[in-house]
Amino acid sequence: MVNLYPNRGLTFVKGEGVELISDAGERYLDMATNYGVNILGYGHSGLERAVVGQWQALPNLHCSFTNDVRAEASRALTSRAGAQPGMVYWSNSGAEAIEAALKFAVLATGRKRFIACRHAYHGKTLGALSATWGAKYREPFEPLLWDFAHIEYDDAEALEGAIDGRTAAFIVEPIQGESGVVLPHPGYLRAVREACAARGILLILDEVQTGTGRTGRFLAAEHEGVHPDIVCLGKGLAGGVPVGATVVSQGIAGRLPRGSHSSTFGGSPLAMAGVLAVLEALDDVMLARVASLGERFLAALRAVSHELVIEVRGRGLMAGVEVRERRDDILRALQRRRVLAIPAGGNVVRFLPPYTIGEEHVGRAVETLAAVLRTV
């Protein structure tokens, strides 16, 4: 493989429940879930049955042909994605969902300027990279393809000042995940929704990490009752099968010329079977459990007292522990004690556990972090 990824020094060969199993037979508590993908853990019976059955029936079919599973998944997702969005374009990843959203915004408005936020992360493909903030990602590829202005996150007045007659859309994460699990103040999303509507631009919500139940609601924007014009999903939407979704309002869908965007593998029946299984599992009971268990997890993390800890942030089962220094040492020490977490921002230990974890797993993760902080 091209050397583009950090090497965590582990080889995993199997997953069971909420654990990953190494080639040496060692079990690790997975509090990272492949950056938020395996939301139902490993070996979930409903997901496994759906995907295996679909593989045997028909794994792939181009969207120029209709398919019963794809139609059902499309109806199920659009009914869950809020009152405003109404039609879906299927792709294979969150970054692809963002790329489609940007192109759709241009087609719908006839304008080609966008606004995003400082410290945002929307992906590394060229269009998505134009929206992403951060010199380490952007500088080698500048000038980029799209015209983007980057404003302060959690500042609705900054958005008002940045909108002009060339602006197509504002793209924003309900919680900034990659930059360190940064939550805006209550009311921010409502304020930007109002600003976009008043100034005639589209609101694109990047729910690739925060969506599909991660915060205790299907979409994180539901905590403020906000309905975007376009919402992007990915990561855990099919429980581990690659998928991306760009859900748009009926009005936008009507302005998209046939052939203006497509994907060979997008909307494969295999991925759609995964989506349906996830949506079925992600009922009100599970969402309530994610919310309540997440509150207890965050409370327990905040109770860990150590001079290195600056702040604990999060919502639902999305948690970040900001430390003053030695973040990578902490991640390595957690791994040595067989608990997996991932980095975010400059100094944040991020936890994105499966929704199937129990109180005992949360307790183990917190106790292990406390022990690590005493020794690093």
The pLDDT of 100-105, averaged and rounded, is 98
Q: What are the tens digits of pLDDT across the range 7-25? A: 999 999 999 999 999 999 9
Helix (H, G, I), strand (E, B) or coil at 15: strand
The pLDDT of 29-39, averaged and rounded, is 98
pLDDT band at residue 83 under the 50/70/90 scheme: low
d(CA 348, CA 362): 18
The pLDDT of 352-364, averaged and rounded, is 97
**pLDDT, position 291:** 98
DSSP-assigned beta bridge partners for residue 16: 19
**pLDDT, position 228:** 96
Q: Is there a contact between 181 and 126 (Cβ–Cβ < 8 Å)?
A: no
The answer on pLDDT for 312 being more than 70 is: yes
Which residue bears the tokens 């067989």?
338
Please give the model's pTM, rounded to 2 decimal places: 0.97
Helix (H, G, I), strand (E, B) or coil at 40: coil
Instruction: Kindly list the strands in the beta sheet with 318-323, ordered across the sheet, starting from the edge strand earlier in the chain.
Output: 309-315, 318-323, 348-351, 342-344
The sign one gets for the Cα dihedral 119, 38, 230, 58 is positive
Q: Is there a contact between 22 and 335 (Cβ–Cβ < 8 Å)?
A: no
pLDDT band at residue 263 under the 50/70/90 scheme: very high
Task: Find the range with the poorest average confidence among 80-89, 130-139, 163-172.
Answer: 80-89
Q: Is there a contact between 349 and 323 (Cβ–Cβ < 8 Å)?
A: yes
DSSP-assigned beta bridge partners for residue 348: 322, 344
The pLDDT of 50-67, averaged and rounded, is 98
Domains of the chain: 12-30+283-375 (3.90.1150.10), 46-281 (3.40.640.10)
DSSP-assigned beta bridge partners for residue 19: 16, 29
Q: What are the tens digits of pLDDT across the range 215-262? A: 999 999 999 999 999 999 999 999 999 999 999 999 999 999 999 999
Instruction: Kindly list the strands in the beta sheet with 230-233, ordered across the sheet, starting from the edge strand earlier in the chain.
Output: 85-91, 244-249, 230-233, 202-206, 167-172, 113-117, 147-151
**pLDDT, position 145:** 84
Q: What is the mean pLDDT of the chain?
A: 97
d(CA 342, CA 350): 5
